[in-house]
Chain A
Amino acid sequence: MHAPAPSAAVSAVRFAGVVRHFGSVKAVDGVDLSIAPGEFFAMLGPSGSGKTTCLRLIAGFEQPDGGHIEIFGETVEGLPPYRRPVNTVFQDYALFPHLSVGENVAYGLKVRGVPRAEREKLAREALALVKLAGLEARRPAQLSGGQRQRVALARALVVRPKVLLLDEPLGALDLKLREEMQVELKGLQRALGLSFVFVTHDQGEALSMADRVAVFNEGRIVQVGPPEEVYERPATRFVAAFVGAANVIEPDMAAVLGAVPRLYSLRPEKIALLAHAAPAPAGAAVVEAVVVDVSYQGPVRRLAVRTPGATLVAAVPAAQHAPAPGETVRLAIPLAALVPMEGEPKGGGA
């Protein structure tokens, strides 16, 4: 592998106008991005949005049809995967079924001609790092999904990649395991100081783990930023809807609320349910709405309500009195919670 110590100015991964199409489908349609060394970078988007193709372009499984890709300042277009200083944790883990767990982890070392004793020691250490010490002799088929996931991680980390690529690695795990792995992955990334590029369609996963999130749609990045920014200040209608399912306030509705008529997003949890006689809070617009649907979600209750101008979703504390469908309620919408967005008022994404 190459010598480490990149200067701070060099990006771990840099895309400049990268294009990749399959036939007439533009899977990646002019992507620019820059991932810093040591950064946990999440690529978030629905399936078919180009995030996985971007990951495969970094790994070298795909070659760009246009644009430029650099890894730590070195141009990698035309380089096959086995000549790139990056490693991948695959969605299906891709463990070799005919090799033991230890041999799987040591595979990349064997390719590099590391002597047997040395590679067995390194494989043991890597397995200990992912808390699988002692399972060297097992076959992948004898492991649980979570354990396989860890073997795949150890196998990629043991060859000391400069960037670790993770392709929806937690998708096949059950909820509890997924949350555990999220914490562990984040801890591992911090401890190793490695750049992680993490592809997911789960916004919760992206928000909770990443230093920065890139939201993909139709082959392009629509917004990049820290999780708080992407969540609190969605740039477009698509980001608002995809990340945390925000309400979109059209300009005419905004006018009803007393705001400047333009396009806004509004997080469901910012809407408060008022008691019937309660006075309007300062700086908030009060609207009457009919409850259409109520769903209990543990800490909060999600209300689908119809106001004269729009259908909104509100998330109110579950401890509060639950209105019944059909009931008329009063909602307080703080004007400061309206986040202006770019984009056309109507049409497109619904």
Chain B
Amino acid sequence: MSLVTLDLPAPRDGFARRLSDALMRRASLIVLLLLAPPLLWLGIVYLGSLLVFLGQAIFSIDEFSGTIVREPTTATLLELFRPANFDILMRTVGVATAVTLLCALIAFPIAYYAARYAGPRAKAGFYLAVMMPLWSSYLVKVYGWKLLLAREGAISWFAGRLGLDGALEAWLALPLVGGPSLSVSYTGMVLTFTYLWLPFMILPVQAALERVPASLIEAAGDLGASPGYTFRSVILPLAMPGVVAGAVFTFSLTLGDYIVPQIIGTSALVLGQAVYTLQGTAGNIPLAAAFSLVPILVMALFLTLARRTGAFDAM
């Protein structure tokens, strides 16, 4: 064996190479080039329009002419606390809380199975099963649930076959959660939301659980912790960032939705519907803007509380 040495020409020195040289020497320049277009879009188009809209909340509407009075006032914001409006807020937050809790309860075992027990094939199936509903139309799914929940629908039929129609009737007779049928009750609304947003809870929880090294679970057992104690003291705290991330999705998606409550649910408005009507038919942009501030504040409060309880300690 012998090494052949060749006299290779140096690579040609064009404009692109000189540009590369400049970028190599100044890393901040390349960051600027990469981030400028998306930041301009986000800053001006996205945040800008949001702020302009939210800024309307300090204006009010003239009750006679229906025109916007462009003078700063707290009157519009205070209007949120009128019983009719405050009911809308409480109702919406209540539904969002119920949806989030239900999603967390259903998602955790599924995510736990996928993260700790599923083999490669089962995991592929898991991802497919979780993601597939996201590929189909949101409206189709909502109308699908309307049919499932209807008085003559599959759920009632199934309850009847199982001899549980009495229990279903009793549930529907309950004051807040009940109604003439599941498809026009808060129960139905919460079930539909839970179905729609479940993937957004499963995926972050599964990712968080997957990041828990198996050796930590072994270490807990090694130190004398029973599986139940290990779950409470190690697995659950380490999965909390995932649960909170999932809850951010389920909670905020529910707070902002105005289609599901329109198709499934009672005639009482939720926040999304209120914003929709106020900015549309009612033409009350200031109050719509005031309503829109609520989810942002609620989410900020939620994240602050989550931080306080140490949900992010493991991050």
Contact = CB atoms under 8 A, between A and B. Distances in A.
Contacts of B238: 97-98
A61 B223 CA distance: 12
B222 interface: yes
Please classify the interface of chain B as helix (H, G, I), strand (E, B), loop, or mixed, using the class held by over half of its residues: helix
B223 A90 contact: no
A219 interface: no
Given A112-B224, A159-B223, A81 B218 contact: yes
A82 B213 contact: no
A88 interface: yes
Interface residues of B, number: 20
A94 B223 CA distance: 12
A116 B215 CA distance: 26
A227 interface: no
B222 A107 contact: no
B306 to A, nearest CB: 14
Interface residues of A, number: 24
B218 A155 contact: no
Contacts of A86: 222
Given A82-B226, A111-B229, A94 B213 contact: yes
B237 A98 contact: yes
Nearest to A90: B215
B237 A108 contact: no
10 contacts: A59-B218, A61-B221, A61-B222, A87-B223, A94-B216, A95-B219, A96-B219, A96-B234, A111-B225, A112-B224
B219 A88 contact: yes
B79 interface: no
Contacts of B314: 97-98
Nearest to B225: A111
A168 to B, nearest CB: 12
A250 interface: no
Contacts of B237: 98
Interface string A79-111: 011100011101110111110000000011001
B222 A82 contact: yes
Interface string B206-230: 0000000101101111111110010
Interface of B: 213, 215-216, 218-226, 229, 233-234, 237-238, 310, 313-314
Contacts of A91: 215
Interface of A: 59-61, 80-82, 86-88, 90-92, 94-98, 107-108, 111-112, 155-156, 159
A194 B223 CA distance: 17
A87 B313 CA distance: 27
Contact of A90 (B219, B310, B313): B219
B222 A88 contact: yes
A86 B310 CA distance: 32
B225 A82 contact: yes
A87 B220 contact: no
Contacts of B313: 98
B221 A81 contact: yes
A92 B229 CA distance: 22
Nearest to A152: B219
Q: What are the nearest 5 A-B pairs in CB distance?
A: A108-B223, A94-B219, A94-B215, A81-B221, A98-B314
A214 to B, nearest CB: 22
A107 B218 contact: no
A159 B219 CA distance: 13
A111 to B, nearest CB: 4
A108 B213 contact: no
B223 A111 contact: yes
Given A82-B225, A98-B237, A111-B229, A92 B213 contact: yes
A155 to B, nearest CB: 7
B213 to A, nearest CB: 7
A86 B223 CA distance: 9
Most chain-A CB neighbours within 10 Å: which of B215, B216, B223, B234?
B223
Contacts of B215: 90-92, 94
A241 to B, nearest CB: 29
Contacts of A92: 213, 215
Given A96-B234, A97-B314, A98-B314, A90 B218 contact: yes
A94 B215 CA distance: 6
B222 A59 contact: yes
B213 A159 contact: no
Contacts of B234: 96
B223 A155 contact: yes
A52 B213 CA distance: 18
Contacts of B233: 107
A87 B222 contact: yes
A97 B225 CA distance: 17
Given A96-B234, A98-B313, A107 B213 contact: no
